[in-house]
Each structure stands twice: as structure tokens, then as C-alpha cells.
Amino acid sequence: MNSYGLGGEPTVEWSVVDSGIGPLLLAATGAGLVNVSFHARPAVRDAVLDRLWTRFATEPVEAPGSARLAEPVRELAAYFAGARRDFDLALDWSLTSGFHRAVLRELASGVPYGTVVGYGELAARVGRPEGAQAVGAAMGANPLPVVVPCHRVVESDGGLGGFGGGLETKRQLLALEGVLPEPLF
């Protein structure tokens, strides 16, 4: 038996869940949560599922009641309710590798709730102080946003920088964590 379960098939189970920032597509393998995607409406959902199918060479299975997804759903709901500050989930890192994986692991372990880090500082933490732009690319390719908190990476001058879920979503996440003030309306 390998990390994917009996038979060795890398099955991927997925579901769309509501969140404080709109619908999220969550996907998990036997190794753990493998993907979180923002704005999981049909076109986004289809693109994500095609990418997962290509990567794992098996069709992802919609499984809203999946045991694999139960804990990620619970922990994300608690996070958006303000009752959880960090995640204690098994993660499947197979959608990232090399420098990107190193950056994302450092981000997950070294940038706590309610704090931010600059692109350059994060690059320096993984041994590439000249790699701020490469960190930006890693953030844009993060397959596990929110759980691996790329919203906490900002520009050195205080600007928000980019965000795959859109800047309004980044603002909402940073406001939830107390980094930015809540919008007045």
C-alpha cells in the first residue's frame, strides 16, 4: 500500500464548499489536501479538475461527504469563523516541487496568522536573497492557498502585491487576520 491507498491508484476526491471569500474547490488524495482553488464556479472548477486529472492520470471524483475532505472542510470553516488561526492538516505537496515547494513550506511554517512577510525576505529565508520575483511566481502557483498562506506575502513598500484569488480576496483574508482594517462597507 502506498500513500494513495489500496491498489496504488492516486485517487483524487474533491468538493466545492462555501467560505467567507466565496466557493472553494478542495481536493485531496490519500496523502492529504492537494488543492484549494478560489472562485470555484463551473469554468474554474473544470480547469482545476482537468489539471488534477492530467497530473494524477485519473479522473477526480466528486465526493462532498469524503472522509479525506472532512477535516479540511472543518478547519477552513473554523478559520473563516475566526475560531482557528492555523491548520493541522496532512498536505500532499505533489503539485509543487523544487524552489516553489521550499518557499511554500517556509511560508506554511514560518509566517504565522496575523503577520506578513515581504517577497524578498521570504526569498532570503530559503537561501535565495535575490529571488523576490521567483517567490512571486511560487505564490502565484501555490496549489494550497489559505492553508499555505500566500495572502501573507506583501511588497516591501507595504503594497499588497499580487494574488491569484484577486486583490479583494487578499484584502479580505488579511482583514480577517487583523492585518488590515475591515472595510467600512
Active site positions, annotated: 150
Query: What does the chain come to in residues?
Result: 185
Contact 96, 35 (CB under 8 A): no
In three-state secondary structure terms, 134 is helix
Helices (H), the chain: 42-56, 67-80, 98-110, 119-125, 132-140, 167-176
Residue 173 grid coordinates? 483574508
Contact 35, 144 (CB under 8 A): yes
Distance CA 60, CA 45 (A): 11
Distance CA 37, CA 23 (A): 9
Distance CA 101, CA 20 (A): 27
Residue 153 grid coordinates? 506575502
